[in-house]
Structures are given as C-alpha cells and as structure tokens.
Amino acid sequence: MESPTPTLDRVAGPADLKALSDAELGLLAIELRQETIETVSRTGGHLGSSLGVVELTVAIHAVFNTPLDKLIWDVGHQCYPHKIITGRRDRMGTLRQKDGLSGFTKRSESDYDPFGAAHSSTSISAALGFAVGREMGMAVGDTIAVIGDGAITAGMAYEAMNHAGHLKERLFVILNDNDMSIAPPVGAMSAYLNGIADKGPLAALKAAAEGFEAALPGPVRDGARRARALVTGMPGGGTLFEEFGFSYIGPIDGHDMGQLLATLRAAKMRASGPVLIHCVTVKGKGYAPAEGADDKYHGVAKFDVATGVQVKGKSNAPSYTQVFGETLTAEAARDPRIVAITAAMPGGTGLDIMAARFPARVFDVGIAEQHGVTFAAGLAASGMRPFCAIYSSFLQRGYDQIVHDVALQKLPVRFAIDRAGLVGQDGATHAGAFDIGFLANLPNFTVMAAGDEAELVHMMATAAAHDEGPIAFRYPRGEGAGVELPARGARLEIGRGR
C-alpha cells in the first residue's frame, strides 16, 4: 500500500530538505500538517500553534543549516512539526509522557533544540547570545528566533531588540503574526500591529517582499494590510523595528512556501545586521475544527480527527480554576473594591468568568507579569483589593516586583497561584515547584495552600478581607476532590492549618 506521506518518508533530518525542489517542499508541508494532526489526536498537546508554523518550519530548515545555524522557537509550544523533521518522528507518540518527548524545546533532547523554552519572550535574547558567541569564535552559524505577536508584547523582547540594534550583529527574528496568542493580544503593541487600515500604503517594501501583498488570498491579504501599519508607522516614518536598528521585511504570507523561501533566501544572502521578517499566519491552519475554535485548539486533549471532538474525563468535580473564578466573581459582587489582574491568561486562570460579569474590573496586562504585579501593588496602595491571578511558574517572572513593590511595602495584593505543584504533561517548566520557597521567606507575607476546593473558597474569603499585607493562596491544576462547596467562604484564622 502506498504511503500517505511519501515526501515526509524521505526526510530523516533537515539535511534531506536540501535535495527537495520547492514544489516538493510544498508537498512536504501538506504531509507534515497531517502528521501533526494525527500525532496530537493521540497524545493531546499544543495543536493550533504548531499548525500555524508548518510551512515556516519547512522553509527555515530548507534554507538554513541547522543545527550549526541555531533555530530558537519562542515558548516552544509550536515545535511539533520541527520535532518531526529533526529525527524525532518515530518518538512523537511519546509526546508529553514520562520519559518521552517534551512538549517544548529541550536542549538535552536534541542538537536541533539549541535553547530550551516553555515561557515566552526569551528567544531574541538567546539568539543574540548565540550571535555574539559566534563573533567570539564559537561554532555557531546564523541565529534565527521565531517569536509570536503575543510574546512580543513582553518587555524582555524589546530589551533584546534594543541590545541587538546596538550591537548590530547578524541575527534573524521572525515575527509569527497570527493575531492570537492564548488569548487575543492586548495593549498598545497589539493596537500598533492591528490598527493600520487607515495609515496608507507602504511607499517601498524591501526587495524580497515586493509585490507579495497583491498575490495573497483575500483573508490573508486583509491581514497583511493590517500588518502593514507596522511597516509604515506614521507618514514619512520607519517601523518601530527599524528604529531599534533592524532591517524590516514584510509582511508576507506565512503559508505560501514560495514567498517564504524567496524571502528567507534573500535575507540570508543580504543580511549584515539584525533583520526582522514579518509573517502573517493563521493559528490552527489547515484543520477546520481548530480554525473555527475560539482558542484555535491552543491546547487540546486527545481528540477524534474526523470530528475534532476532544476526549474529556468523566469526573463531575469542578476544577480548582473554575472554583476560583466563580468564587471571585461572587466576592466581587459583594465588594466593589475587588479587581483582578491576569497576564494574558484570562481563560487559563478562570478570570474570564469574572470578566463576563464585571469587564471593567478585570485587567489583562498581556505577557507582562512584572508590570502586572506592580500594577496590582499600585491598585492596593490606592485602596482597592486586587487579586493577581498568575500560574506559579509564571509568577517567577515577577519576583523582584513581589519583593520590592509588594512585600517590602506591606501592600495587600492577593496572589491567586494556579498550577501549584506538579502539572502532569506540561513538565518541569510549568511545575509550580518553587512558589512556597520564594514567597514564604519574604517579610509581611501570608501563604496558604488549599487541601480541597472547599478550603479554597474559605481562603479566598480570608484573602479578600486581609488588608494587613500581601497574601497568597495556591492550588493545583485539574479537578477538585468533589467535596461539597460552602455557600459562602468564611474567614480562616491565620497561622492555623492542617
């Protein structure tokens, strides 16, 4: 019987892509997308983000010479196609399982994963480090960072671009602009990327991108026009990225293999300093259930490929996240001083429940945990009662702000710490292993851990009424114990636990 993936079967590693024609690379992308869908249907995982970069993955590996050239995926949750064509195809069935492949990039797993990732906005800094290492004699070729439009809202990305523009080292940054991180991107940067329809046409594209927009299919062409504001800025001005010292190419269709190959080849041939290539893509591309879902199947359980229906657990117990969201909404109904802050995870933290009822009192600051913590501190100092809901492993990113802006000032910020403890398939990068250690040693801090969902309700009532200093309550990922929930939480005695 003929293989359904004849082109993919010829690829044992990226070197094999060099022997394929451009047309064959297009066929490879089709087969790679289907292989990714089939794999994730059996294992669960991050599907939508991986489907959005299939063509980009093939094009990068076809043009550059990995692993000498260092390809760094920001977050790494979109790396499944990359893993399939870098010698790990036969192990994809072990994805996100004990002793199996990581759901993110991992240095110990493959030479094609030069830098581990699972949290956002680190790729440009790491790529610049590799580039400087190359200039100082290390065995490094070109460096390529692929960063999403959600991840590029974080301050660290701009710190890295500012430094890269100063050093002027040869470096490639690919902006994967699908206008959709886990939640819709927020803030002024998102408006900069999105609000371009009235800015007028671009006077002159870089040579490699000339004429691309007119050839795009309708929906993608509209996205490119939106993205073009990034290029033009105000009349007579350059792009924000050019102000940082980058050469800008784009926007281009991230699903058109011909455009991708032409652009990457031209950039590789001509670049002398830092280059930013702006690709417009569709999260969940090529799989209708993912494209039609609100979250584009960002993270999925095992599912039926034909229907897209996910296999859910049979327990009727609510998740701790759901209990948090519903309880906070009830507390907010009783106390107008209660507000909530999330860092780009309204659904993941359960704050979408409160946002549906009190939208003006829920603040999504984007992927900016440091700002979120200090913003909450300012709210507390003003007399409000802020609940800062951030995953345990993500809260690490705001530690200086927790120390300096919250604890030392004895400000009553309430930290709701989701995903505390072990997190199953997400692995070590997402495990809430350190929050007790890094919070309990701080002055003025109260730290609580819920033994079941009923205790969580009581701890939230305790936190809401606690104005004497910062207080945190931690709870695990997943379903509760199924205990009966109280109608309303009661304040606990601080210092007594079990």
Please identify every residue annotated as catalytic.
283, 369, 397
Three-state DSSP class for residue 344: coil
Q: Measuring CA to CA, which residue among 142, 160, 179 is closest to residue 280? A: 179
Crossing angle of helices 257-270 and 54-63, rounded to 10°: 40
Retrieve residue 330's tokens: 């009830």
Sheet containing strand 385-391, edge to edge, reads 362-364, 338-342, 385-391, 414-418, 471-474, 446-449
Fill in the amino acid letter for 306.
A
CA 146/CA 81 separation, integer angstroms:
14
Is residue 377 within 8 Å of 411, Cβ to Cβ? yes
DSSP label at residue 144: E
Three-state DSSP class for residue 345: coil
Is residue 176 within 8 Å of 149, Cβ to Cβ? yes
CA 61/CA 101 separation, integer angstroms:
20
Q: Which helix (H) or strand (E) holds 177?
A: strand 171-177
**399 phi and psi, to 5 degrees?**
-65, -40
**419 phi and psi, to 5 degrees?**
60, 35
Is residue 224 within 8 Å of 193, Cβ to Cβ? no
CA 423/CA 19 separation, integer angstroms:
42
Q: Which residues contact 137 (CB under 8 A, 6 or more apart)?
A: none
Q: In angstroms, what CA-CA distances link 102 with 33, 148, 298?
A: 19, 20, 16
CA 31/CA 178 separation, integer angstroms:
22
CA 349/CA 326 separation, integer angstroms:
11
Q: In angstroms, what CA-CA distances link 124 with 114, 176, 248, 498?
A: 13, 13, 15, 45
Long-range contacts of 22-28 (CB under 8 A, 24+ apart): 22/257, 22/258, 22/261, 25/58, 25/59, 25/62, 25/257, 25/261, 26/257, 26/258, 28/58, 28/85
Q: Which helix (H) or strand (E) holds 174?
A: strand 171-177
